Structure 1
Amino acid sequence: MTTFKDPAPAGHGKLSLAEILEMLTASGDFPLKFTAYDGSSAGPDDAKLGLDLLTPRGTTYLATAPGDLGLARAYVSGDLGIHGAHPGDPYEILRALTDKLDFKRPPARMLATIIRSIGIERLKPIAPPPQEALPRWRRVAEGLRHSKSRDAEAIHHHYDVSNAFYELVLGPSMTYTCACYPQAEATLEEAQENKYRLVFEKLRLKPGDRLLDVGCGWGGMVRYAARHGVKAVGVTLSAEQAGWAQKAIADAGLSDLAEVRHGDYRDVQESQFDAVSSIGLTEHIGVHNYPSYFGFLQSKLRTGGLLLNHCITRPDNRATATAGGFIDRYVFPDGELTGSGRIITDAQNVGLEVVHEENLRHHYAMTLRDWCRNLVENWDEAVAEVGLATAKVWGLYMAGSRVGFETNVVQLHQVLAVKLDAKGFDGGLPLRPWWTP
């Protein structure tokens, strides 16, 4: 049962910010050390981790956008500080808040006391930090949601930050999707190489085959396939990614086998591919577009060809598809997630036969851990490249996502499907999984 500390009795005067915080936590027990610009504090004095509310503007951000969006605004703008953790990896703070805090909407009498204490002026919305995207309802100038123009703008917001910045965070593989760790102690590079190996083997690719990789990023899968004799075409909406990928292909001497195009996957004209890989694209296309998406990918395959769909999912198929405020406004505008059941259903409904699926959520938590480690190690260079506020967004986003995968808020599923002929023939697939796990 949720209980709250009672508001200050009549005549007590205004509450301090620390007292307000203690009132809003259902247990009244704040796990971190909290300090505020009014001189008040809460939480254990010997806590190693803490939050510092530095300015009245921070209070306005918190009051006008309760939840993760308000916290993000105050933190990104520099009005809410942290101590005991690096801004490139605030994981320990976020994990403590997730595990031990339970904020609930206060009753009316308590809310009136809070408003009187912070001042009505703190409830007037102010401009958010410039790193924030417009709310969904104001993005109409970019086109209808998941139109080609609006998808291009959403991808530009997230992926065209800076190739140099991504190199600092992602490491030499330049792979911005979940790795697959062959052992717990494997390095990030070993795990990313193993992920590409796993996809390659699941798709039964061999020298001379043709692969289409949609949403190919910096071309990691394309280059892996080409190094193994497969003719691979990748497509990405990010001009920065396409330029980097084409140079990497040329530098590796793979131009006769590999190509990365800047464009929309829906504009690919070729067909009869032996395999299609989609690694981290489905999150961006919109759940209502799944039927046309899987239908398009199915149309690109030859009979007996295989599709590997690798994407972040929700742990069930009932939750709303839209992302939370922070993710939608700072990280993936218009991003949508649903459960693996919906993905499998829509793939089946266009005539694909699903032959295997697996959940790699623990691997994504480990991947995010290693990306945060890279960001911390390269912090000064990262800040010089994109600015302090943007670097803080990335630390917050990746550490928070790690908590999400660890606590089963989100998952990562690979779904493998085959294109059948009119009589149900699958091209002669083996009876059991043919790849090395």
Structure 2
Amino acid sequence: MSPAQVCGASPAPRKPFCAKLYAQVLAAIALGVAIGYFYPGTGESLKPLGDAFIKLVKMIIAPVMFLTIATGIAGMNDLHKVGRVAGKAMVYFLTFSTLALIVGLIVANVVQPGAGLNVGPASLDVQAVNTYAAKAHEQSVTGFLMNIIPPTIVGAFAEGDILQVLFFSVLFGMALAMVGETGKPVVSFLQALIAPVFKLVGILMKAAPIGAFGAMAFTIGKYGIGSVVNLAMLVATFYFTALLFVFGVLGAVCRYNGFSICSLIRYMKEELLLVLAPSSSEAALPSLMEKMEKAGARRSVVGLVIPGGYSFNLDGTNIYMTLAALFIAQATNTDLSIGGSILLLLFAMLPSKGADRITGAGFVTLAVTLFVVPTAPFVGMTLILSVDDFMFACRALTNLLSNAVGTLVVARGGRAG
């Protein structure tokens, strides 16, 4: 069964292949690769196309989140249901974030992608990672928690901070539910506003092929396909581990809940392609929320699980951090015991939370982990700097799939196994 059938959604009418968004995005990606490979200078100059598309999507994320979450919670007769949904979501996030770290730890120790490189830490250029080091020093538990509270209501929307918008939207939705009849005109207005806002999302998505073309042309033009050759083992191991997690761990959860991971991937192909080309999970957030609602998940579930997952359920990032840290240790011949690996796993959990809000998220969270657990030399991060962008897309795809699975699991009553 497909995810839509599981949750009771009716199938969408078929479109001609060339009129489908994912077909247009695929063609744009192929053209972008060709331009970047054969005309690298031109490819680099097309970066503004990808950046502009990301800005268009970010522009609409805050209102989509606010309307979906506030009206969803306001429509609940029992606010205890909000707590139950949030509780189930957090159990899912913590469980599968931990599983992602464990899978990465096992694969890294079995495959050992960094073994044999014999790199001396003293020979590496620490200047290349100084920017990430400074960002890593800025991260703290207190700072992260305090940043969830926006300085002003307008500030949360102006900055487009997902956690801050989520925080305000939940509180506002609960307040609307608590005032009862008095709040109904406000709820009716917000519900009426949903239709034009999602129509705007559809309009903006028509620009996705242009954004995909520009982003892919820039990536190939600047870094070149050959730049991954020397570190191909790390990149290949990361992609293998992500596939193992998606089709093994998430696939088992999907089967237990009555649908297959393959049907979910087919259902979400447009969102996955939106993430693949610009390498930004935010590009797919508005359409993902809409599609999960069409699949039959309640608006309140979608509004809590999807935005929350973007900050607390980053399985792809967790796999990346574990593999990257162990790769550095292996490449520099640093002895990392089982105890040290477990300690690394435990400390890697915290900095990954809210990582989507940091520029260069995966690299910064890796830096935080290496500062806290300095068993692998921090300077070894220069080894993976050149291929980090090639692994970012896979991180984002894995994060997106896990959050979609989590939404359907919570919507069906939390059968996570």
Higher helix share: 2
**Bigger relative contact order, structure 1 or 2 (CA pairs below 8 A, ≥6 apart):** 2
Mark the structure with the bigger radius of gyration.
Answer: 1
Higher strand share: 1
TM-score (norm 2): 0.26
